[in-house]
Amino acid sequence: MTIYLPIAELSVNIFVILGMGAAVGFLSGMFGVGGGFLITPLLIFYNIPPAVAVATGANQVVASSISGALAHFRRGTVDIKLGCMLLIGGLLGATAGVQLFLMLRRMGQLDLIISLLYVVFLGTIGGLMLLESVNSIRRAARNEPVSARRPGQHNWIHRLPLKMRFKRSKLYLSVIPVLVLGFAIGVLTSVMGVGGGFIMVPAMIYLLRVPTNVVIGTSLFQIIFVTAFTTIVQATTNYAVDIVLAGLLMIAGVIGAQYGVRVGQRMRGEQLRAGLALLVLAVGIRLGLNLVLPPDEIYSIVTGSFG
Amino acid sequence: MTGRISALLTICLLAPMLGLGLTAHALAQSDDSEEGTVWSFPEQLDIGISTNEIAISPNFSGADIFVFGTIAEQDDFLLAIGAYDIIVALEGPLRPATVRRKERVAGIWVNRHSVRFEPVPASYSISSTRPLDSIAKQIVLSANDVGIKNIRLIPTGGLGDASQVGDFRQAMLRIMQQAGLYQRDPSGVKFVSKNLFKAAVRLPANIPVGEHTVRAELYRNGQYVTQTRIRLRVVKTGLEQFTYNLAHQHSLIYGLLAVGFALFTGWLSSVIFRKD
């Protein structure tokens, strides 16, 4: 059964899209990630125009993150002040990112940059995660204690000016790295269609030394607002949000996530992380091959106002 | 005209032996000496279609439309020997097009060169009584803007390397044909009675919306006689088209709706699947 996507302007098999949404939802529930970094490449593999895949991916992250954000908000594990500072950076970053997106699209280099960014990020993050999880699996096998977080050694970031007190996180921290981090995530949200949790969470833990109990809630707080804002700006600037595609992905995704969570709870953390790392690497390699292998058709046509 | 008529008579006598296809070819050649002469022919061409608006539903997978037409003031003799040819083309709305070419840079395939063309038809379906090259000579077809090969592709702006524009032109036509947007049917026009013809013109599944033009041209012995055109609006119906219009004309409302739907879906799932 095919369904016509009004913005992507092509017909797709509805079951392929639902299956994709459910599979990514399952994985995101299992690993506790937003799934934007898997959805966007999968859509590109399925010949959805990268511009639409990215803008729609950002929209889909809103749905997959809201339930987590609400849960953390109810439990009070959100540092609202830190979240707001990240958000200011994030909104500025998303605005700049959408303009960059428009510029790259006009230059005909958008697809290339999206793929390159994915290859670099997925390769790096996947590689680091695999290394870390293999090490901790080894340590667990030798019955050594697993240290989740190294002791709070202060680094150069804590010597920057414009300090601010974040009570919930028990931090006295310069606002500069917070804004910069938020900005960078905002750019990634608009150019890659991801929530950015996979970068923000490690950055908050290792660079800002935010306590782990508020990290997830605070990053989800920021992600919800930045992805929602990006969706609106992408819709008004690039007309690239496909609501039919996003709707199908969301519905399948939120259901898949429920099953993913249940499976994830029964698996060990290191194995889970190793699995996610392998998946991330596989997607990165697949995208990388697309860039390196000779294409079937070296010419492409863009009709209409872009070009 | 006397030379011409005698040539015709000769051909007419030969016709039963040679077949009509060859006849027309011979006729076209017999006009060589008269190149440059502006003929004024009495024939008139009239065409009609049952509607001037075509509504495409979301599950549209391509269809034929039928264009009927007559040749008036025709020469019965020429009609009988098949000397008249009709070409019917459905031309889509004009849109600027950019063709890009990938090249390998440091091991990666990157869009390097591009050529931007003046607005070209976003779709083009052509039907004719016979293959175009046996209807008239290339120069005649080109002068009358008919045929996929003769779609005007004029580069705009400064060109890097003019010698490569030909490659980009060919790539454009090739990709548009592969996408089904440019199509031809060399036997799509048939005479249903003496001077009444029926042209089946293919609407591709991915037909662009907007103002299309049906253009019919009449050829007589390889000479262009006359043409006529009618406008045809292609609109898409259904929720999909409504969505498209909303996204482009009220993009802020559309963006807010997309976010609202995402928030609602996510929230609803957390209510439905709440564990306790």
What per-residue confidence (pLDDT) applies to A147? 53
Distance (Å) from the alpha carbon of A57 to chain B's nearest alpha carbon:
11
What per-residue confidence (pLDDT) applies to A139? 83
Q: Most A CBs within 10 Å: which of B153, B259, B267, B270, as the mutation test of the A interface?
A: B259
Is residue B52 pLDDT above 90, yes or no? no
Structure tokens at B180: 């089904």
Residue A75 class from Cβ within 10 Å (0-12 exposed, 13-18 middle, 19+ buried)? exposed
Q: Which residue of B has its CA nearest to A62?
A: B262
Q: What is the pLDDT of residues A194-249, one digit of tens each?
A: 888 888 888 888 888 888 888 888 989 999 999 999 999 999 998 999 999 999 99
Contact A62 B259 (CB under 8 A): yes
Determine the Cα–Cα distance for residues A295 and A291; give it in Å rounded to an integer: 8
Report the 10 Å Cβ neighbour count for A205: 16
What per-residue confidence (pLDDT) applies to A156? 73
What per-residue confidence (pLDDT) applies to A276? 83
- CB nearest A243 (choices: B174, B252, B261): B261
Determine the Cα–Cα distance for residues A166 and B106; give it in Å rounded to an integer: 47
Q: What is the pLDDT of residues A257-281, one digit of tens each?
A: 888 888 877 877 777 778 888 988 9
Contacts of B275 in chain A (CB under 8 A): none
| Torsion over CA: A65, A44, A204, A278 (sign) | positive
What per-residue confidence (pLDDT) applies to A270? 76
| Torsion over CA: B130, B221, B227, B196 (sign) | negative
Q: What is the pLDDT of residues A47-77, one digit of tens each?
A: 899 899 999 999 999 998 888 888 888 888 8
Do the bridges between strand B84-91 and strand B124-128 make them parallel or antiparallel, or are there none, so unpaired?
A: antiparallel
Q: What is the pLDDT of residues B215-269, one digit of tens each?
A: 999 998 888 888 899 999 988 888 878 888 899 899 999 999 999 999 999 989 8
Banded pLDDT at B36 (limits 50, 70, 90): very low
Report the 10 Å Cβ neighbour count for B5: 9
Is residue B128 pLDDT above 70, yes or no? yes
What per-residue confidence (pLDDT) applies to A47? 87
Residue B227 class from Cβ within 10 Å (0-12 exposed, 13-18 middle, 19+ buried)? middle
Q: Most B CBs within 10 Å: which of A299, A300, A302, as the mutation test of the B interface?
A: A299
Residue A177 lies in a domain: yes
Instruction: Kindly state the DSSP code that residue B205 receives in the 8-state scheme.
Output: T
Determine the Cα–Cα distance for residues A230 and A223; give it in Å rounded to an integer: 10
What per-residue confidence (pLDDT) applies to A304? 62
Is residue B201 pLDDT above 80, yes or no? yes
Distance (Å) from the alpha carbon of B64 to chain A's nearest alpha carbon:
20
Determine the Cα–Cα distance for residues B32 and A307; give it in Å rounded to an integer: 44
CB A292 within 8 A of CB A59: no
Q: What is the pLDDT of residues A6-38, one digit of tens each?
A: 888 888 899 999 999 999 999 888 877 778 888
Is residue B18 pLDDT above 80, yes or no? no
| Domain limits, chain B | 1-38, 39-258
Mean pLDDT, rounded, for A164-193:
88
Mean pLDDT, rounded, for B205-219:
89
Sheet holding B210-220, edge to edge: B53-56, B223-236, B210-220, B84-91, B124-128, B182-185
Contact A63 B252 (CB under 8 A): no
Strand runs labelled E in A95-230: 163-166, 171-174
Q: Is the ipTM of this complex over 0.95?
A: no
What per-residue confidence (pLDDT) applies to B16? 39
Contact B261 A297 (CB under 8 A): no
Contacts of B97 in chain A (CB under 8 A): 301-303, 307
Residue that wins the pLDDT comparison between A296 and B15: A296
Residue A154 class from Cβ within 10 Å (0-12 exposed, 13-18 middle, 19+ buried)? exposed
Contacts of B273 in chain A (CB under 8 A): 258
Determine the Cα–Cα distance for residues B231 and B67; give it in Å rounded to an integer: 12
Residue A47 lies in a domain: yes
Does B256 reach chain A within 8 Å, measured CB to CB?
Answer: yes
Count of domains forming chain A: 1
Please count the CA atoms within 13 angstroms of the CA of B275 that sit on its side-chain side: 6
Q: What is the pLDDT of residues A73-99, one digit of tens each?
A: 888 888 999 999 999 999 999 999 999
- The top-level CATH class assigned to B39-258 is mainly beta
Residue A16 lies in a domain: yes
CB A307 within 8 A of CB B114: yes
Contact A109 B101 (CB under 8 A): no
- CB nearest B122 (choices: A60, A247, A303): A303
Contact B98 A241 (CB under 8 A): no
CB B151 within 8 A of CB B121: yes
Does B249 reach chain A within 8 Å, measured CB to CB?
Answer: no
Banded pLDDT at B182 (limits 50, 70, 90): very high
Residue A4 lies in a domain: no
Contact B110 A71 (CB under 8 A): no
